[in-house]
Amino acid sequence: MPSTKPLSIGPIGFGLMGMTWRAHQTPDEQAFTAMKAAIANGATFWSTADFYGPGNSTAGISLVRRYFDKYPTDADKVTLFVKGCADPKSLYPTNNRAGVRASVDNCIRILGGTKKIDVFGPTRQDPSVPLEETIGELKSLVDEGKIGGVGLSEVGAETIKKAHAIYPLSLVEVEFSLWSTELLTNGVAATAKSLDIPIVAYSPLGRGFLTGQLKSIKDIPEGDIRLYFDRFKPENFDKNLDLVDKLKAFAQKTGVTPAQLALAWVLANSNSGDCGTIIPIPGATTAARVEENTKQVTLSSSDKAELDAILSSVPISGGRYNQQLEMTLWG
Ligand SMILES: NC(=O)c1ccc[n+]([C@@H]2O[C@H](COP(=O)([O-])OP(=O)(O)OC[C@H]3O[C@@H](n4cnc5c(N)ncnc54)[C@H](OP(=O)(O)O)[C@@H]3O)[C@@H](O)[C@H]2O)c1
């Protein structure tokens, strides 16, 4: 019977997107050192996608292949989640039977037996394909031993319930951070908890914004995906710095870095109130950042309350993505 739960998940995971889905690729030597540091520090849940590369290519999967080619004994230490089923040109979902199978087979081909796909799922919902068809094909792929389990990304509560009834989900990956708190109120956290499905919190550092390293929009390199998102538009960026300034002051007061504070807040929500297990997956391209991010900080309940009060007092300007992509969210 295949596992329906990820195998080895520590409190903090690792997002691989930034290594390859950028104008400038992280050189292998640097990427491998960061990946090694992730394993050494317990961040053994890795999240990637079959379109995380220049021109939505499979460079992200190839990086994983090269890493495990070089370090084969690390393969069993890592739980790998791969998102796929996206047209490489448009990124439009290809969640029909053929699309799901082609995406999985392509990833398996690229991985070349170096690493098993522990969990796989479509990156977005496809309104033109019944969920039964997508999940049904994923179940077949589990039964055939091609993937270890099924995970969904950027989904709403109803889809989680419906999908889980067709085949038990191993995880749900949705955005969650100090400036993206919707899952606390839109039923996603409560539903995942009620079904005992772990939530993987993506972009937990607000795509880098919450680390305080971005002081001006000019700090974002040309060609960077963030420049297409509303929160990073000039009319919103400076307003949102207000939150970062408050977080920086709070971090300084508590003796941690802003990145550690952002992750500690996500972890403080895990297994608390309406939330079941939540695993943040910060992305980073250097070992030093991985080490900083995996140095777990525990927030006291009064610190958490104070941070929550700061969040309620500072409105966030601009949506998570943009008007064009809005309808693909919480699908
Ligand atoms: N399911 C989805 O739709 C979806 C969408 C987006 C992301 N994701 C997943 O979530 C993962 C993480 O998300 P993300 O990369 O968008 O955002 P993130 O983890 O919130 O932030 C990553 C950014 O923060 C910077 N950073 C990391 N640690 C830092 C530190 N200690 N100090 C200063 N800066 C630091 C990184 O810099 P460097 O990288 O330059 O080191 C990078 O620019 C991705 O790898 C991907 O797997 C999923």
Whether residue 282 has pLDDT greater than 90:
yes
The pLDDT-based confidence of 27 (bands split at 50, 70, 90) is: very high
CA distance 114 to 158: 36
Beta strands (DSSP E) in 116-158 are 119-122, 151-153
Q: For tokens 């969040």, what's the residue? A: 311
Residue nearest to atom 11 of ligand 1 (CA): 15
The answer to whether 199 and 277 have CB atoms below 8 angstroms apart is yes
Domains of the chain, residue spans? 14-208+263-295
Phi-psi region of 82 (alpha: psi -120 to 50; beta: other; left: phi over 0): beta
Whether residue 313 has pLDDT greater than 80:
yes
Taking only the tens place, the pLDDT of each residue in 121-163 is: 999 999 999 999 999 999 999 999 999 999 999 999 999 999 9
Residue nearest to atom 42 of ligand 1 (CA): 208
Q: Exposed/middle/buried for 265, CB within 10 Å: 0-12, 13-18, 19+?
A: buried
Question: To the nearest whole number, what is the mean pLDDT of the chain?
Answer: 96
- Distance (angstroms) between ligand 1 centre and the Cα of 283 equals 3
Which residues are CB-contacts of 213 (< 8 A; sequence separation ≥ 6)?
219
Which phi and psi angles does 289 have, rounded to 5°? -70, -40
Closest approach atom of ligand 1 to CA 259: 31
Is CATH 3.20.20.100 correct for 14-208+263-295? Answer: yes
Taking only the tens place, the pLDDT of each residue in 189-204 is: 999 999 999 999 999 9
Give this prediction's pTM.
0.97
Average pLDDT of the residues in 50-67: 97
- Distance (angstroms) between ligand 1 centre and the Cα of 136 equals 31
Whether residue 5 has pLDDT greater than 70:
no
Please tell me if the CB atom of residue 153 comes closer than 6 angstroms to any atom of ligand 1: yes
Please tell me if the CB atom of residue 208 comes closer than 6 angstroms to any atom of ligand 1: yes
Could you give the residue numbers annotated as active site?
52
- pLDDT for the residue 2: 42
Closest approach atom of ligand 1 to CA 286: 41
- pLDDT for the residue 40: 98
- pLDDT for the residue 98: 98
- pLDDT for the residue 8: 59
The percent of residues above 90 in pLDDT, for the chain, comes to 96
The percent of residues above 70 in pLDDT, for the chain, comes to 98
CA distance 48 to 82: 5
Taking only the tens place, the pLDDT of each residue in 248-268 is: 999 999 999 999 999 999 999
Whether residue 21 has pLDDT greater than 90:
yes
- pLDDT for the residue 37: 98
Please tell me if the CB atom of residue 191 comes closer than 6 angstroms to any atom of ligand 1: no
- pLDDT for the residue 47: 98
Residue nearest to atom 45 of ligand 1 (CA): 15
Please tell me if the CB atom of residue 292 comes closer than 6 angstroms to any atom of ligand 1: yes
Provide the Cα torsion 10, 78, 117, 49; round to 10°: 80
Please tell me if the CB atom of residue 53 comes closer than 6 angstroms to any atom of ligand 1: no
Please tell me if the CB atom of residue 17 comes closer than 6 angstroms to any atom of ligand 1: yes
Residue nearest to atom 29 of ligand 1 (CA): 289
Taking only the tens place, the pLDDT of each residue in 61-112 is: 999 999 999 999 999 999 999 999 999 999 999 999 999 999 999 999 999 9
Which phi and psi angles does 161 have, rounded to 5°? -60, -50
- pLDDT for the residue 9: 79
